[in-house]
Each structure stands twice: as structure tokens, then as C-alpha cells.
Amino acid sequence: MFKNVFGSGFLVRTAHVILTWVITLILFLHDTELRQQEETGQLVQPVLFVLLVLGSVLLYFAVSLMDPGFILSEDRDLQFTLGVTEEQQDMIPPTTKSLRQRRCGHCLLQQQPMRSKHCQTCQHCVRRYDHHCPWIENCVGERNHRWFVLYLAVQLLVLLWGVHIAWTGFSAAPSWQQWLRSDGVLLAVAALLALLSLVVLLLLGSHLYLVSLNTTTWEFMARHRISYLKHCGADENPFDRGTFHNLWGFYCVWGTVVWEQVYFREGSDQV
């Protein structure tokens, strides 16, 4: 399930964890509401904040180290077919939806399942490939996409709470120079947290939007280059089953989906 912890992403993960706990420590060391409540024995908010930070770190490692849906070349159950041979494909008009048995030239996979893609960084084909995220140093795919979205939501909550905590630690000073000397570090932390909050908010919003349409980042960005989407209309998504069913399938349905069956469901141009 998990990849080698000491792989190429070890430094990225270590830097993420160190930065997270250093910022948390700074928020406790300055005269913020966390420290004030800690000194007065009101430990509910400090404990909740630490637990939330810990939860975000654990989710980060889970998403980062989890198998995103790697396809092994020896998998026998991937040879899904709709009965379309190479000879029959030549007889199908180019405007008709047709399933070509795509072969991966990198990992020698005989047949890529629909919506999968080879990741040059991970050196594997990934089921329902979304993108390769350098932040987690892992692909986001079928198995960890929902956990990635959950991680973004928890991380956003931590960051926004951190901005609020940092804001409560600013104190008045007779001059800008004295204020910067006393609160300069806290100001830098607040600015960093605000910037990260904006980035995570945009990421979370974009992923929730794409999930509601049952499309992926790769399909959204490279639609014109993807064989099974080339002949669809600009606003046509063969995997869209309605917002409710899309969200339900993403969050509540576990296991591998045979997307070829969804693509050629009743009402589509079948072969």
C-alpha cells in the first residue's frame, strides 16, 4: 500500500513536517491567544489546534505514501475489452466514440484502462490519473484522490486558524522599528500562512469543481489530446452522471471502476 518512505520525496516530506511544527511552535511562543489560554489553564483550544495540526500531518503522510492506483504490468484483470479488434477499429468513423486498446510505451503495459496515464516521475501508469503533485511528491489518482481533497480541507482549516492566531499576537509599539523587532517573526508567519491559505483554497475549490463534474485535472487541461475525449463536444463529458451521483461516487463508492462501461453506457454511441 505504501511506497518506500525514504524515496525521492523524503526531503520534501521532511521539510513539510519541520515547517509545520516550527510555525506551530512560533504561534505558541509569541503572546497569542494560544499562549494566553495555555498560561491560564484553558487548554481546550490549544489542544484542539495541536490535534488538528497533527491530523493534517498524518493525512499528508497518508496521501503522500499511499498507492494512488499504480497499475502493474503483470495485472491480469486489466485486459478489459469491448470486443473491438484493431481491424474493426479501422471501420469505425472517426466521429464515433470508440475504445482503442492503448499500450504504454514506458512501462510496457499491454492495455491501459480508460482514464489512466503514465507518470514520468513515478514511472507507473496510474488509474484515474489526476496529476502528479510535487507538494506530496506522489501522484493523485483513483485510490488517494478523495484523501487528497480531505487533506486540502483540513490543511485549509489549519492555515486559516493559524492566521487568526497570529493576528491575536500582534502588539502595539511606539514605532515601526520596535514593532518589527518584537513582531517581525510573527508577521512573517502570518504572511506565509495567508499565502498558503490562498493557494490551498484555490486548489480545494478547483478539485471540488472538477469532482462535481466527474473529470480530472489531466482531462480538463489536456482534453484535446486525450483519445477518448477528442470526439466529444466541448461541453460533453461522457463520465458525468449528475452532480449528486458524481459526488456520491467519488466519496462513497470504494473500489475500482471500469470506466469503459460508463463511457459506453446506454445512451452513448456504442460500438
Task: Give catalytic residues, as residue numbers.
Answer: 133
The C-alpha atoms of residue 194 and residue 83 are separated, in whole angstroms, by 54
Contact 164, 113 (CB under 8 A): no
User: Measured in Å, how far apart are the chain's first and last C-alpha atoms?
Assistant: 37
**130, 107, 113, 121: which is closest to 76 by C-alpha?**
113
* DSSP collapsed to 3 states, the chain: CECCCCCCCHHHHHHHHHHHHHHHHHHHHCCCHHHHHHHCCCCHHHHHHHHHHHHHHHHHHHHHHECCCEECCCCCCCCCCCCCCHHHHCCCCCCCCCCCCCCCCCCCCCCCCCCCEEECCCCEEECCCCEEECCCCEEECCCCHHHHHHHHHHHHHHHHHHHHHHHHCCCCCCCHHHHHHHHHHHHHHHHHHHHHHHHHHHHHHHHHHHHHHCCCHHHHHCHHHCCCCCCCCCCCCCCCCCHHHHHHHHHHCCCCCCHHHHHCCECECCC
